[in-house]
Copies of this chain bind each other. A is one copy, B any other.
Amino acid sequence: MNLTILGCYAATPRTLTNPTAQVLEIKNRMFLIDCGEGTQVQLRKHKLRFSKINHIFISHLHGDHVFGLIGLISTFSLLNRQTDLHVHGPKGIKEMILLQLKLSKAWTGYNLYFDELESDESQVVFEDDKVKVSTIPLKHRIYANGYLFEEKEDPRKLNVAAVEEYGIETCYYNKIKAGHDMKLDDGKLIPNKELTFDPAPPKSYAFCSDTVYHEPVIPIIKDVDVLYHESTFLDSEEHLCERTMHTTAKQAALIAKKANAKKLILGHFSTRYKSMELFKKEAQTVFENVDIADDGKFFDL
C-alpha cells in the first residue's frame, strides 16, 4: 500500500500549492481520491501511470476537490482510453460532468459510470476479491464523504519446508492455503497452523477531508492503519472551524487517538501558514505518530 499526495492545500490552486488529490495504490489497484484543478498535470509530473485508474472517489463538490475531474475525463478520451471508468461522488456529479461533455461535444470513447452518493450512513462503494471501499460520512458546509480503503485478508502462506517434510502433494496446496487441516495417508491429522504461516495482516487507509471535528467517524475508522485527516487550521484559528466547517491539527489528532489509528497524516492546510511543522507539533501534543502531507510526497505504507 502506498500513497502519493498530488495536492494537499485548501482553496485555490497556486504556483506552488495544489488543491486536494491523491493516489492510493493498494493490492495493485490504483485509486484516485479527489481531483482538484490541475490533477492531471500532477499525475504526469509524478509519472504515475494514470491509465491504471479505474475508480475515482470524490469527497464533495467544492471546486478544490473536483474541478480537475472534467479535464481528466476528457484527457482519458484523447488518450483513447477503452477501459470503464467509475466515478464515486455526491449526487450531482453526474450532471456536472455530463453537461460539460455535452456542451463541448466530447463524448468519451469508454464507458463512464457514476455512483452518486446521498446517504448519511457509511456504505460500501467498491468491493472485489482484494479490497473493500466504504464511505465515511463527514460534516462539512456541503454533503461530503471520506473513504475507508480496506485490504481483504490474504490466503495463509504455505510453510514449504513443512509440507515437503510431510510429503504432501502440490495439488493440496491451495486447500491448505485456504486454511484446511490435512489428513495424511496414515490417517494422522496435521493442523493447518503447522503447515502455514499467518499472512501479512490486511492494511487499511482512511481519507477524511473536508470536515469539522466529527466524532461519528471514529467507529467507522476504528483501528485504521493510516488516517489522512484534514487539518486546515492551527489551534490559534480554531474559532474559524465552526463557520468554515474545518478541523484543527489538534482535533485531527484527537480523532486519530480515539479511533486507535496507527498513524496520522495531516493535510488540507490553509495557505495562510508558511510552515507546516507547527501542524505536526500541535497534533503530537495529542497523538504521537504524525506525518505531514506535501504535494508530491510519497508514503510507503
| Residues of A participating in the B interface, judged by any CB pair closer than 8 Å | 11-15, 37-38, 40-41, 44-45, 61-63, 66-68, 70-71, 74-75, 78, 92-93, 95-96, 99-100, 103-106, 141-142
Contact = CB atoms under 8 A, between A and B. Distances in A.
A75 B12 contact: yes
Contacts of A104: 61-63, 66, 142
A235 B144 CA distance: 51
A100 B64 CA distance: 12
B67 A63 contact: no
A243 to B, nearest CB: 14
User: Chain copies in the assembly?
Assistant: 2
Contacts of A12: 40, 71, 74-75, 78
Contacts of A75: 12
B38 A41 contact: yes
A101 to B, nearest CB: 9
Nearest to A43: B15
A10 to B, nearest CB: 10
Contacts of A96: 99-100, 103
Nearest to A41: B13
Between A37, A68, A93, the greatest number of chain B beta carbons within 10 A of the residue's beta carbon is seen for A37
10 contacts: A12-B40, A12-B78, A15-B44, A15-B45, A37-B40, A63-B70, A63-B104, A63-B106, A67-B74, A105-B142
A97 B11 CA distance: 18
A185 B63 CA distance: 69
Contact of A37 (B14, B37, B99, B141): B37
B14 A62 contact: no
Contacts of A70: 63, 67
A99 B96 CA distance: 7
Given A14-B44, A61-B104, A95-B103, 11 more contacts: A12-B75, A13-B38, A13-B71, A14-B41, A15-B41, A15-B45, A37-B40, A67-B74, A92-B103, A95-B99, A105-B142
A11 B80 CA distance: 13
A62 B15 contact: no
